[in-house]
Structure 1
Amino acid sequence: MSYLFLKMLHILSSTLLFGTGLGSAYYAWRAWRSRNLEVIAATFRHLVTADWLFIATTAIFQPLSGLWLAHMAGWPLNQFWLLASVVLYVFAGACWLPVVWLQIRVRDLAEQARQNAQPLDARAYFYMKWWFALGWPAFIAFMVIFWMMVGKPL
């Protein structure tokens, strides 16, 4: 595989990862703010599926393709921008894993409340507070990673 083709796949994958994450966050927040159980249940059901189909697969491809690109380019892995990017990527992943768990819980609680025609359980509000709190650091980490990839500061 050529360096340029792999770089294109790496960029497309990062776009899919970041775009799906941002889009998911937007739709989850809008659904949550609607307070409509039908909307929340349906949105979070699709959101969890999208996370596994798109975010999980690209989250695995990104470090593999990034390390392969670094190897092909002859960049030592101890360069600041590479190390910082890896650390930030691991940090963002550490935020994302509990977010997925929280989304699954909210999805299940919303579906249960919808089926039983009951109000949403208080745990869902607690989960959404953590979901929101964990999303921001991951988003900021990805913005810094993009800057590192483009600027390659020493």
Structure 2
Amino acid sequence: MDAYLTAKWLHILSSTVLFGTSIGTAFHMVWAMRSDNPQVIHRTVSGALMAALLCTAPAWLIQPATGLWLIHLQGYPPTEAWLTLTYALYALAFIAWVPAIGLQFRIRSLTDSTTSVPLQARRAYRICIALGCPAFLALVAIFWLMIHRPPLWG
């Protein structure tokens, strides 16, 4: 396999892991919180955190590396408008993801050895969802930009 196909394959694979793991863990978090069972929430959040650390975190690192590799291989100017917007959206998604992980650690801690879901855990969950929505939309917009590569501004 040549360098371009290797870079493209790694980039697509890591974007799939990043997006898919994020959507999957968010779905399971929502489902667990709906149970109103602190033991279910604790176990689900523990699994979501494991997925975030084993799958999502490496993908966050691989994406820019393979993206820059592809930019180099394809000869795009790194300051091209659609790429600049992609960098900003990626930063937005990452900046939302980091505190969401911290909130998940908090939810896990708050639901350990308790008989009811504490209000602090519910508040942390709502903030986590509020952070996840713009991150999700940013990643969807990045997919669109990667496919269309539109001319945006001069």
TM-score (norm 1): 0.94
The one-letter code sitting in structure 1 at the alignment partner of 2:42 is A
Q: One-letter code of the match for 1:97?
A: V
Map Cα deviations across residues 48-86 of structure 1 (whole Å, 9 max, x no partner): 111011010000000011011101111001111111001
Aligned to 1:63: 64
Alignment of 1:4-153 (within 5 A): 4-113=5-114, 118-153=115-150
Q: Give the whole-Å Cα distance in 1 for the aligned partners of 2:10 and 2:125.
A: 33
Deviations 1:125-151 (A, max 9, x none): 110110111110000000000000000
SS in structure 2 at match of 1:112: coil
Distance in 2 between residues matched to 1:76 and 1:26, nearest whole Å: 38
Letter in 1 for 2:19: F
CA–CA distance in 2 between the matches of 1:119 and 1:16?
Answer: 33
Structure 2: stretches of 5+ with no match in the other structure: none
Deviation at 1:120? 2.2
Q: Distance in 1 between matches of 2:26 and 2:57?
A: 15
Q: 1:39: Cα distance to partner?
A: 1.0
TM-score, with length taken from structure 2? 0.94
Cα separation, 1, equivalents of 2:116 and 2:38: 8
Distance 2:116 2:68 in 1: 48
Q: Give how far 1:122 is off.
A: 1.5
| Shift of residue 112, structure 1, vs aligned partner | 3.4
What is the CA–CA distance in structure 2 between the aligned matches of 1:20 and 1:144, rounded to whole Å?
A: 18
Q: Distance in 1 between matches of 2:99 and 2:144?
A: 25
User: In 1, Cα distance between the equivalents of 2:91 and 2:97?
Assistant: 10
Partners of 2:95 and 2:20 in 1: CA distance: 18
Give me the identity figure in percent.
Answer: 40
**Unaligned stretches of 5+ residues in structure 1:** none
* Deviation for aligned residue 1:36: 1.3
CA distance in 1, matches of 2:12, 2:113: 39
Tell me by how many angstroms 1:25 deviates. Answer: 0.3
Deviation at 1:119, TM superposition (A): 2.1
- Secondary structure at the counterpart of residue 13 of structure 1: helix
Q: Which amino acid aligns with 1:137?
A: P
